[in-house]
Homo-oligomer: A and B are copies of this chain.
Amino acid sequence: MQIALLGGTGDIGEGLALRFAYDTDHDVVIGSREATRAETKAREYETELDSRGVEVEVTGQDNAEAAREADVVVLAVPAYHLADTVDAIADELGEHTVLVTPAVGMKRDEDGFHYNRPGAGSVTALAAEAAPEDVPVVGAFHNLPAGRLANLDADLGIDTAIVGDDADAVDTVTRLTEEIEGLRPVDAGPLANAAEIEAITPLLINVAKNNEKMHDLGVRFQ
C-alpha cells in the first residue's frame, strides 16, 4: 500500500512517516507544498531509518504528486490549511483513495489550550466537507504525542480513536494503525463523533503543562 503524508515535513507528519516506514512494509511518500522541502525531509527520514538498520526508500514530492498514486492520504497539516490542501489534491483523489485527517483546531488563552470547534462540528467534518463527494474520509491520529511518535526509541502504549462513515475506509486505516507498534486503534463510530476526540488534544497539552514528569502525552482508554 502507498501512504502519502501531506504536511509530512511537520511534527505529526514526521512521526507518522517514520513509524510507517519503520514498522510496516508500506511505501511512504512525503508531501509538502514545495517538492524540494519534501525531498529534503524524505532524505532525513531515510538517514534516520538507515541508522537503525532499516533501508527503505522514502519519496518526497509536492502534495498533488504525493497524493496521485497513494492508497491512503494523510492530511497532516494545520487545521487552517486543511481545505486548501484538499483543494490542491482533489483532482488526484478517487473513490479508492482514503483521506485521513488528524488535524485539530485549538486556541490558547491565559488559562491554557482550548478546543476551537469549527462551525462544521469538527475539523474532521471540515475535511469531509472539503473532500470530493466520492472520496471516503476517516478521522484518526488526532491525539498523538509528536515528539514520542518521531522518536523511534520511545514506546507509545497509547490509543488513537478512529471515526468514519465508510466501513471499508475505516477498516483500512484501522489495519494500518495496528501495524504501528504500541498504537492501538479504537473505533469511535461515525464522523459525527469526531469533536470529542479532537478536544482531547488541548487537554493533553494542559495536563502536560500543569504536571511534573508528564509531557508529550497520549491517551489510553482502559
Contact = CB atoms under 8 A, between A and B. Distances in A.
Interface of A: 109, 111-112, 114-115, 157-158, 161, 186-190, 192-193, 195-197, 199-200, 202-204, 206-207, 209-211, 214, 217-222
Nearest to A222: B220
Contact of A115 (B188, B196, B207, B218): B196
B207 A221 contact: yes
Interface centre among A109, A189, A203 (most CB of B within 10 A): A203
Given A189-B112, A192-B112, A200-B196, A214 B221 contact: yes
Of all A-B residue pairs in the complex, the 5 with the closest CB atoms, nearest first, are: A196-B203, A111-B192, A187-B210, A220-B220, A199-B199
A163 to B, nearest CB: 9
Given A199-B199, A200-B200, A157 B190 contact: no
Contacts of A211: 186-187
A111 B188 CA distance: 10
A186 B161 contact: no
Contact of A188 (B196, B210, B218): B210
A139 to B, nearest CB: 12
27 contacts: A111-B193, A112-B188, A112-B189, A112-B190, A114-B192, A114-B193, A115-B196, A115-B199, A157-B222, A161-B203, A186-B214, A188-B210, A189-B206, A189-B209, A193-B203, A195-B199, A196-B200, A196-B203, A197-B203, A200-B203, A207-B221, A217-B221, A217-B222, A219-B219, A219-B220, A220-B220, A220-B222
